[in-house]
């Protein structure tokens, strides 16, 4: 970061902190470090996967790791607007990239806005909201953020022809290990985001100290954890990788020898897959290296010999991000904030790496809708504890390669959804928890269509550390936690077209509503009216039914098998009843 930019930013932070401190009654509240990683599937080491991720694994070892966290729509903008507003896509009315919820659906309070309204300094670095129209053209500033959101300048070169082929020519490739010193500005977007977010932590730490006679910070006088010195912060950091293109420092590729890479066990399309469920990864096909394969559209598939190299680059890009996460957490510790900061790390949706002959996200499959979610709460998750003392554990079985490997942390197998983040973080921070939204909540400013999963984090002592005090969580017993998660994905029709993966609102005619229960994953693709934002449950285009214990990879759709007619009928009723009927039930 240039020195002039740092000084301007220090001045901006100090002005905001002085204003907050003089205009609000601050109490001892925890800080929040909110880390969202683009396109990250649950294949990290801590989830039993092949992605080398020692820093996230270390975080998981002192955190709660959620093995069944699901998104509401598996594409960037709709997912982010959903979890940042605490509302589902049918309420944000965003299924594409073409509208801003405040003008298109309702003037909803966001998660960071709620913290800002409760005396927090809030800042956004990198890709938190999806930039552009979905966040009002300015990342929802000034509603959600105390200062102007930061985007790395090198992001302007995301489509630049800087990826070297074997012959030395440069291209716009998907697989793109690079020499960073040869890149524009000699950096990469996530490196710049790390630098900027680290500077925020350092500046907040400096601002928390009183000044000496010369007007300079006196670091011997006060601790950065002293709540009288500064407001608490909500710092959101969005890392771009492993989103395509997989542009990352070339040294990370050497961690994954090509002969060590296994491809998907199900690299071909299933004959029982409905055409409407297929995503044709058009965005991938546009990159030079994939376009050079001359695949027919839409059913041409990437040759198997390219599957391992593509996985290699995805894994390397994810490990690169893990390295940056480690640096950020190190700065959090060095600035003295780690003992009073809730750290949450998760992916905005999953990603498919050749399973079902599919790549990217753009579907309702498990690999697209399941994400890693790790939550560290000082004083609560630091030591191994028995999970869910007041909740009956799910008996959901996970395959070894998609299970967990968090040996010394808390593993939570109960269902949670990203729409739960808003009420959960509010609950953990001790600020007002948004109530459950009523039906048709378009005129309700503050409410949530999620549910706080703070009860799943309760220790035997039933307490968490907040500042220098101990706060008691409300002890609620549940006869049943969430019994299902819900996601959805739009299509322009039942057969693949150039707009299948990312249809704009005006062409959406089909919506796939999907539900994951303990035993089943069930989806109905139904007719959808994009002007009234309603689905027609009598117009069923296709159904999908998978048994989780027998077919976790979702290779065999048995929805049309007469033997399972009763199960389909039962699940169809539950799906139509929706998420409200699946909320936790207090004992």
What is the residue-level pLDDT of the chain in tens, covering all 587 positions? 444 555 565 556 656 655 655 444 444 899 999 999 999 999 999 999 999 999 999 999 999 999 999 999 999 999 999 999 999 999 999 999 999 999 999 999 999 999 999 999 999 999 999 999 999 999 999 999 999 999 999 999 999 999 999 888 999 999 999 999 999 999 999 999 999 999 999 999 988 764 434 444 454 444 444 545 579 999 999 999 999 999 999 999 999 999 999 999 999 999 999 999 999 999 999 999 999 999 999 889 999 999 999 999 999 999 999 999 999 999 999 999 999 999 999 999 999 999 999 999 999 999 999 999 999 999 899 864 433 333 333 323 333 344 566 555 899 999 999 999 999 999 999 999 999 999 999 999 999 999 999 999 974 334 443 443 345 555 578 899 999 999 999 999 999 999 999 999 999 999 999 999 999 999 999 999 999 999 999 999 999 999 999 999 999 999 999 999 999 999 999 999 999 999 999 98
CA dist., res. 433 & res. 437, Å (int): 12
pLDDT of residue 335: 96
Rounded (10°) angle between helices 76-85 and 421-429: 40
CA dist., res. 37 & res. 241, Å (int): 7
**Top-level class of domain 485-586:** alpha beta
Tokens at 569, concatenated: 């009928």
Query: Which amino acids are annotated catalytic?
Result: 76, 130
List CB contacts of 501: < 8 A, sequence separation 6 or more. 279, 280, 281, 282, 283, 360, 362
pLDDT of residue 230: 77
Is residue 76 within 8 A of residue 95, CB to CB? The reply is no
| Check whether domain 30-480 has CATH 3.40.720.10, yes or no | yes
State phi, psi for 543 to the nearest 5 degrees.
-130, 155
* CA angle (197 as vertex; 193, 200 as ends), nearest 5: 145
Q: Which residues pair with 34 in a beta bridge?
A: 236, 344
Length of the chain: 587
Task: Tell me which residue of 355, 356, 359, 362 sits closest to 272, measured CA to CA.
Answer: 356
Is residue 73 within 8 A of residue 488, CB to CB? The reply is yes
Is residue 156 within 8 A of residue 170, CB to CB? The reply is no
pLDDT of residue 207: 83
Tokens at 525, concatenated: 């693709």
* Residue given tokens 């006869």 in the structure block: 479
As a whole number of Å, the end-to-end CA separation of the chain is 54
DSSP code, position 211: B
CA dist., res. 255 & res. 251, Å (int): 8
Rounded (10°) angle between helices 307-334 and 189-207: 10
Q: Which long-range contacts (CB under 8 A, 24 or more apart) does 296-302 make?
A: 297/498, 298/496, 298/497, 298/500, 299/269, 299/496, 301/268, 301/269, 301/357, 302/354, 302/357, 302/359
Ordered by start, the domain boundaries in the chain are 30-480, 485-586
Instruction: Specify the pairing of strand 485-491 against strand 510-516.
Output: antiparallel
pLDDT of residue 395: 26
List CB contacts of 301: < 8 A, sequence separation 6 or more. 268, 269, 295, 357
Is residue 81 within 8 A of residue 135, CB to CB? The reply is yes
Question: Would the CA dihedral through 486, 523, 356, 80 be positive or negative?
Answer: negative
pLDDT of residue 71: 98
Q: Where are the beta strands (DSSP E) in 159-225?
A: 163-164, 170-171, 175-178
pLDDT of residue 204: 94
């Amino acid at each position: 970061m240039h020195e002039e930019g740092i000084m301007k930013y220090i001045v901006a932070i100090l002005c905001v902190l002085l204003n907050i401190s003089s205009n609000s009654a601050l109490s001892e509240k925890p800080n929040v470090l909110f880390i969202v990683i683009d396109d990250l599937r649950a294949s990290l080491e801590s989830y039993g996967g092949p992605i080398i991720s020692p820093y996230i694994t270390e975080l998981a070892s002192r955190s709660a790791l959620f093995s069944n966290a699901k998104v509401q729509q598996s594409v960037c903008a709709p997912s982010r607007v959903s979890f940042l507003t605490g509302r589902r896509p049918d309420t944000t009315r965003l299924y594409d990239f073409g509208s801003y919820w405040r003008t298109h659906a309702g003037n909803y309070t966001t998660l960071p806005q709620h913290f800002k309204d409760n005396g927090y300094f809030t800042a956004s670095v990198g890709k938190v909201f999806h930039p552009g129209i979905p966040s009002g053209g300015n990342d929802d500033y000034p509603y959600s953020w105390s200062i102007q959101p930061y985007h790395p300048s090198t992001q302007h070169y995301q489509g630049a022809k800087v990826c070297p082929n074997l012959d030395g020519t440069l291209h716009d490739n998907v697989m793109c290990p690079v020499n960073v010193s040869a890149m524009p500005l000699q950096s990469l977007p996530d490196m710049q985001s790390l630098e900027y977010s680290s500077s925020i932590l350092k500046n907040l730490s400096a601002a928390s100290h009183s000044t000496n006679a010369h007007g300079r910070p006196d670091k011997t006088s006060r601790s950065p954890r002293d709540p009288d010195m500064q407001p608490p912060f909500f710092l959101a950091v969005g890392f771009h990788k492993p989103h395509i293109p997989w542009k990352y420092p070339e040294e990370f590729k050497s961690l994954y020898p090509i002969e060590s890479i296994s491809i998907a066990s199900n690299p071909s399309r299933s004959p029982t897959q409905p055409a409407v469920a297929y995503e044709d990864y058009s965005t991938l096909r546009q990159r030079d290296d994939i376009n050079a394969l001359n695949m027919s559209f839409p059913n041409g598939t990437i040759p198997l010999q390219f599957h391992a190299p593509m996985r290699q680059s995805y894994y390397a890009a994810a490990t690169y991000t893990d390295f940056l996460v480690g640096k950020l957490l190190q700065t959090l510790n060095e600035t003295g904030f780690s003992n009073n900061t809730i750290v949450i790390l998760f992916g905005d949706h999953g990603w498919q790496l050749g399973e079902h002959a599919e790549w990217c996200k753009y579907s309702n499959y498990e690999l697209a809708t399941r994400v890693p979610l790790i939550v560290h709460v000082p004083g609560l998750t630091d030591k191994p504890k028995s999970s869910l003392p007041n909740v009956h554990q799910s008996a959901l079985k996970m395959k070894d390669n998609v299970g967990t490997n968090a040996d010394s942390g808390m593993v939570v197998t109960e269902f949670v959804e990203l729409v739960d983040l808003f009420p959960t973080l509010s609950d953990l921070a001790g600020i007002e928890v948004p109530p459950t939204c009523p039906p048709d909540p378009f005129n309700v400013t503050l409410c949530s269509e999620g549910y706080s999963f703070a009860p799943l984090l309760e220790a035997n002592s039933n307490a968490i550390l907040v500042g220098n005090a101990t706060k008691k969580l409300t002890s609620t017993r549940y006869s049943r936690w969430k019994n299902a998660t819900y996601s959805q994905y739009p299509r322009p029709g039942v057969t693949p077209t150039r707009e299948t993966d990312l249809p704009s609102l005006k062409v959406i005619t089909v919506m796939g509503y999907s539900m994951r229960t303990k035993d089943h994953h069930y989806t109905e693709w139904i007719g959808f009216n994009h002007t009234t934002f309603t689905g027609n449950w009598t117009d069923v285009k296709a159904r999908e039914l998978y048994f989780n214990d027998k077919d976790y990879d979702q290779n065999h759709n048995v929805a049309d098998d007469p033997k399972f007619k009763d199960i389909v009928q039962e699940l169809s009723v539950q799906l139509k009843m929706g998420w409200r009927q699946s909320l936790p039930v207090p004992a």
